[in-house]
Structure 1
């Protein structure tokens, strides 16, 4: 058998690291962290690899040459001639490339299968030993929940790895020589878009969760419906626990409509009183009413809000993430005392509702990781009177409702970023009397000093100056961590010896949805 049917048959058989990948012609789209991991994996498997990248990374290019992959650096505004002549049997796309990218449309038109890195990782997951996978997605809270779940699992003596969109490619985790018991995989909507829900490349996770759903990345997906459909894929084929947000009806519908394995349970979480098979909060106590025999008449106490408050973990959206992560861990039989003690040792990442300084009765908070309106709303709800630093790349999302919902708590607003027009107009509609300032500086090094100076001029004792941009950062900064670091530097430079707070350190950030 030759032709497309033969190629399809061969790909269907590639469901193990130990299958015969030799000589398979694979085009890899992108040479970022994900694309490099894909190329490295495929060359190790013996495939013939052609990497297509719009820009050259010299360090990775040198390594590609050593491992035997070819690199074509091209703007990729059209299909490179090298790809035309390569006769690819498979294309693996990095998550940042839009579905309507010329290379992807070319592949679809020719019937060339398109995988993402997650499907490849699932197929070769048995290189060392096949770990159970837990999948985490949502518009916001993914990274915190992934880190929490992995921390809880590890506290029980399990080899658990947080990976995926969190910054560590899943392919690196499955190739780790030590192997893992559980992979807690953060999935962006970009990665889920390419993930099949049936067939040999479909993931069968131990547990899965979509934390919440709000409009985001509409510039990538095209419509809110397409974005939601991508997120819903997280629940497909779940074996044990489909964890959903009781306060977000969209996540409940995702679970109800998902095709899961027989015996999989729906586990709700929320900040209200939990029902049987739920996690929730009763009189300041976080409770598990899902994983105990007497769940119709009793609950297990995980931790109290009073214990979480001094750790900076008592904001409502953080508590929701704790409940979701606890549900994932409890589905894997992590004992309640282990969950409790591990939670008390957990700390949030830098740039997630991080206190930079407290001086003159004014608290300066860095939530640069609030890269969309949904995340910014959760941050705003955690504080009283706020001087809000907002703006950046809105990614096609309308922030009008966010502004309208929170004008009552604002002392002033300071708008940064290049997408300022829509935000300024929203404040004009909903809060025409609110002090509003625009930072017109476009130089990266000047934006935050100007924003901080403006905030200091209007903030009063008892206020919170909150950097919660509701937007991506790449218009003026390298990433959200760079934006947050520059906020820290500007605050400390302005306050001098009065500044106190936490250092801004953390892993390389991702802003994928």
Structure 2
């Protein structure tokens, strides 16, 4: 079964509103009763697009912040009904044809339970965006998911595509809201789409040109309920892929997800590895990123994409996980027939995203590195493996994650640890079990000025040549509004210390 543009759709898809087939932006959306759950950036974009096409839209929101009220005012002028409060989220409005939900809304939310009981279809904003493409000439999607590295890989891919002369953008879980990218008045040639498991959970018919899962490790178990369900949602990125499913040879789960996926006939499985690449893989040959997948004679030939030195920053060699992300981005670009020189130019020009192994400063022989984006143990593991001796700044909300394996794997690297946040005692206990020789400072303060004390205590414990590494292995929302704010606080405290000494 294919949609109006010839792309496969989920065979369980049932058209809404009688015979209407909502697979492109010019379909008959008029008169449909649609509830949009959430009034964040993506919810506003969804409601606006639906109103423009004549749907009758009701928006539900518990947030009444200034930004939300401004969006609500605009939607009210356009004809939407905006309803605040939990009382409007206990049952489904009569006559509802479709619910479009923001990605963070859990399926266990009372409203979503009521929607399921009423057998009303639910789409996420990414699914809606897919169905809002033009009937003909829609920009292909290159999709990326993974527990860690998604934003780095998708923005690397964006830079590579632009270096190839293509009009491209990163969208979805980063950059533009995906609906804005799809409906942009100046159409894109191709869209690099970052997808979280939240977004994949509410997706049904997306058929990417090429897709990639970077890695899979336990995360967001409080949202998904189990690791198996989280793993299953990661695997959705591969469903209905057209040309190439890119997997991580060094993470067997990703290859298994490719094997389980229902893809378009002729779609290839292409691996990437930090080791030597076999045919149908990208990998490292000495200090060269090499392609043995998208070359005419892959059993005997390889294309040089770039050198490791092209990925280094500030005179430092690239971390292994950064190289892995570059290989994944290169594989997706090569699947889209981007030339090797454009891959090299894109990776050379790429500027890493903030709070990802960002060098803050080096003073008195001590280097400060901000990896606040390491919001789970696997991300922290990747950061910690990049350095020989670290004073570890960690703690926050673990979201049900276990950190014993992380501590045990890095016990020899730990010079000391400074712990903060809601689950700081769990960190302290894990260090006591697996690295009892490591000095630990537990800071009980929960104010956002705590980083000044954190930095001072870390410096007191550091030796020349050490790295004071903020790789919290936990979320930030117990103390800061975002991991970015946490990283900024750390960097600001480091600079303030350096100015005093």
Instruction: Bin the TM-score by the shorter chain.
Output: over 0.9
Equivalent residue, structure 1, for 2:446: 442
**Cα–Cα, structure 1 residues 344 and 62, in superposed 2: closer, same or farther, change >3 Å?**
same
Equivalent residue, structure 2, for 1:368: 372
Spell out the pairing of 1:315-334 with structure 2 (5 A cutoff).
315-334=319-338
**Cα distance in 1, alignment partners of residues 215 and 19 from structure 2:** 34
**Cα distance in 1, alignment partners of residues 286 and 175 from structure 2:** 37
CA contact (8 A) 1:392 1:475 kept: yes
Deviations 1:432-465 (A, max 9, x none): 2211011211112x22112111111111111000
Equivalent residue, structure 1, for 2:83: 72
Does 1:230 find its partner at 2:233? Answer: yes
Match of 2:481 among 478, 482, 486: 478
**Cα–Cα, structure 1 residues 7 and 281, in superposed 2: closer, same or farther, change >3 Å?**
closer
Match of 1:62 among 49, 55, 73: 73
**Cα distance in 2, alignment partners of residues 12 and 223 from structure 1:** 36
**Cα distance in 1, alignment partners of residues 318 and 470 from structure 2:** 19
Match of 2:428 among 417, 420, 424: 424
**Cα distance in 1, alignment partners of residues 59 and 19 from structure 2:** 19
Equivalent residue, structure 2, for 1:209: 212
**Cα distance in 1, alignment partners of residues 384 and 69 from structure 2:** 42
**Cα–Cα, structure 1 residues 232 and 84, in superposed 2: closer, same or farther, change >3 Å?**
closer
Equivalent residue, structure 2, for 1:501: none
Does 1:356 find its partner at 2:364? Answer: no
CA contact (8 A) 1:274 1:280 kept: yes
**Cα distance in 2, alignment partners of residues 365 and 252 from structure 1:** 32
Does 1:292 find its partner at 2:285? Answer: no
Report how far residue 338 of structure 1 moved: 1.5
Equivalent residue, structure 1, for 2:121: 113
Deviations 1:105-134 (A, max 9, x none): 000001111111111101111179410011
CA contact (8 A) 2:92 2:118 kept: no
Equivalent residue, structure 2, for 1:165: 173
CA contact (8 A) 2:92 2:114 kept: no
CA contact (8 A) 1:210 1:243 kept: yes
Report how far residue 10 of structure 1 moved: 3.8
Equivalent residue, structure 1, for 2:250: 247
Spell out the pairing of 1:329-340 with structure 2 (5 A cutoff).
329-340=333-344
Report how far residue 7 of structure 1 moved: 7.1
Spell out the pairing of 1:7-156 with structure 2 (5 A cutoff).
8=16, 10=18, 13-56=21-64, 57-75=68-86, 79-80=89-90, 84-126=92-134, 129-156=137-164
**Cα distance in 2, alignment partners of residues 316 and 482 from structure 1:** 26
**Cα–Cα, structure 1 residues 86 and 63, in superposed 2: closer, same or farther, change >3 Å?**
farther
Name which of structure 1's ranges 342-351 and 489-498 shifts more when overlaid on structure 2.
489-498
Where 1:428 maps in the other structure, the secondary structure is helix
Where 1:425 maps in the other structure, the secondary structure is helix
**Structure 1 segments unaligned to the other structure (5+ residues):** 197-201, 499-513
Equivalent residue, structure 1, for 2:466: 463
CA contact (8 A) 2:16 2:22 kept: no
Report how far residue 160 of structure 1 moved: 0.8
Does 1:382 find its partner at 2:386? Answer: yes
Report how far residue 313 of structure 1 moved: 6.4
**Cα–Cα, structure 1 residues 495 and 6, in superposed 2: closer, same or farther, change >3 Å?**
closer
**Cα–Cα, structure 1 residues 391 and 167, in superposed 2: closer, same or farther, change >3 Å?**
farther
CA contact (8 A) 2:171 2:194 kept: yes
Equivalent residue, structure 2, for 1:453: 456
Deviations 1:437-496 (A, max 9, x none): 11211112x221121111111111110000001111111001011111111111111111
CA contact (8 A) 2:159 2:349 kept: no
CA contact (8 A) 2:310 2:347 kept: no
**Cα–Cα, structure 1 residues 313 and 59, in superposed 2: closer, same or farther, change >3 Å?**
farther
Equivalent residue, structure 2, for 1:503: none
CA contact (8 A) 1:394 1:471 kept: yes
CA RMSD of aligned residues (A): 1.7
Report how far residue 301 of structure 1 moved: 1.1
Report how far residue 66 of structure 1 moved: 2.1
**Cα distance in 1, alignment partners of residues 256 and 189 from structure 2:** 30
Report how far residue 172 of structure 1 moved: 0.8
Report how far residue 342 of structure 1 moved: 1.8
CA contact (8 A) 2:59 2:82 kept: yes
Deviations 1:283-324 (A, max 9, x none): 111100111112111211111113322455611000000000
Report how far residue 267 of structure 1 moved: 0.6
**Cα–Cα, structure 1 residues 68 and 417, in superposed 2: closer, same or farther, change >3 Å?**
same
CA contact (8 A) 1:313 1:319 kept: no
CA contact (8 A) 1:204 1:238 kept: yes
Where 1:408 maps in the other structure, the secondary structure is coil
Where 2:312 maps in the other structure, the secondary structure is helix
Report how far residue 247 of structure 1 moved: 0.4
Q: TM-score, normalised by structure 2?
A: 0.94
Equivalent residue, structure 2, for 1:502: none
Deviations 1:12-45 (A, max 9, x none): 6111111111111111111112111111111111
Where 2:86 maps in the other structure, the secondary structure is coil
Spell out the pairing of 1:493-504 with structure 2 (5 A cutoff).
493-496=496-499
